[in-house]
Amino acid sequence: MFVIFLVPIASYADGRVRFNYRVAGSSSNPELGSKNVSSYTQADGSVATGADKLDSSSFSSFSLHYVSDYGLGFLGGGEILLGMYQFDTSYKTNITCTSVWITSGTAVCADGIALATRTASGTSRSLDVGYVYPIGDMSVGGGIALPVLGSSGETAVEWTALGNALSLRAVNGLGTTETLSPEGKSFSSYFLNFGYSIDVYEALLNYRSVSTSTSAPLTTTSGVGALLGGESELKSDSTFTSISIGVGYRF
């Protein structure tokens, strides 16, 4: 990333650096919602049910950009924007029974009983590529983010003693912490920005939309995979929007 910024800054004196930080926005609910638990039945013989409900969540993001015409006359007075975008997200959900669970004629769980908590966190870094067009003291622009700078994430399910038993982890000699390894499946992001120059500085307003999809492999014989009837992966789709404000400095 330092190459992206230092080379242009050293070569062109009429560029500018911009920093934006998220101050508002929205995010989709990461909870899994209601689920059928085919390993157990209710009193009427129907499939038992459980739920994964959101407890808390957080999301933060920032971007660092360099804007310059790079001496390219064909840009028509516009400028190229290059930089980095990073977001960090985390959340916690609670997993509970939402019906009576029966196995071998014995009730082993009831509505509202806690089975586990699920926590997840992740960081994503992307290369922003865009176009900025100056209009007097103002500028407008936009672009897309390319997920080429790396990402990381982790998900863990902390089972209660009852949840560990009902998910067949205890009988398999496994502890109460089940660690999942999510893998990114898709990523898309675009942004729009507006700038207003005040001497060598800029006041910035930025809008961004991000959509992601991840999948975590599951063990089908115990844990989450066993409760969900042998599902082999846990899928999660998320959408975030951000309103960011920032400052720019012209060289």
Q: Tens of pLDDT along 57-116? A: 999 999 999 999 887 878 888 999 999 999 999 999 999 999 999 999 999 999 999 999
The tokens describing 222, both together, are 């115990």
Contact at 8 Å (CB) between 193 and 142?
A: yes
Q: Tens of pLDDT along 229-238? A: 878 899 889 9
Rounded-to-integer distance, Cα 178 and Cα 219, Å? 10
Q: What is the DSSP letter of 74?
A: G
Reported as a pLDDT band with limits 50, 70 and 90, residue 9 is very low
Q: Tens of pLDDT along 115-170? A: 999 999 999 999 999 999 999 999 999 999 999 999 988 999 999 999 999 999 99
Question: Per-residue pLDDT for 2 more than 90?
Answer: no
> How many Cβ atoms are within 10 Å of 135's Cβ, its own excluded?
9
Rounded-to-integer distance, Cα 160 and Cα 165, Å? 9
Predicted confidence at residue 231, as pLDDT, reads: 84
Three-state DSSP class for residue 147: coil
- pTM score of the predicted model: 0.86
DSSP conformation letters of 166-208 = HTTTTTTT--SEEEE--EEEEEEEEEEEEEEEETTEEEEEEEE
Predicted confidence at residue 72, as pLDDT, reads: 81
Three-state DSSP class for residue 161: helix
Q: Tens of pLDDT along 168-210? A: 999 999 999 999 998 878 999 999 999 999 999 999 999 999 9
- Of 215, 217, 206, 211, the closest CA to residue 89 belongs to 211
Rounded-to-integer distance, Cα 165 and Cα 100, Å? 16
Q: 194-198 long-range contacts, Cβ below 8 Å, gap at least 24?
A: 194/138, 194/139, 194/140, 195/18, 195/132, 195/138, 195/139, 195/140, 195/141, 195/248, 196/137, 196/138, 196/139, 197/137, 197/138, 197/139, 197/250, 198/137
Question: Per-residue pLDDT for 42 more than 70?
Answer: yes
Residue 67: Cβ-neighbour burial (10 angstroms; 0-12, 13-18, 19+): buried
Rounded-to-integer distance, Cα 125 and Cα 130, Å? 16
Contact at 8 Å (CB) between 22 and 60?
A: yes
Reported as a pLDDT band with limits 50, 70 and 90, residue 36 is very high
Mean pLDDT (whole number) for 216-241: 90
Beta bridge partners of 115: none
Q: Spell out the residues 6+ positions from residue 251 whose beta carbon is closer than 8 angstroms to its own.
A: 9, 12, 13, 14, 15, 16, 17
Predicted confidence at residue 149, as pLDDT, reads: 93
Rounded-to-integer distance, Cα 195 and Cα 175, Å? 54
Reported as a pLDDT band with limits 50, 70 and 90, residue 228 is confident
The tokens describing 188, both together, are 């898309």
Three-state DSSP class for residue 84: strand
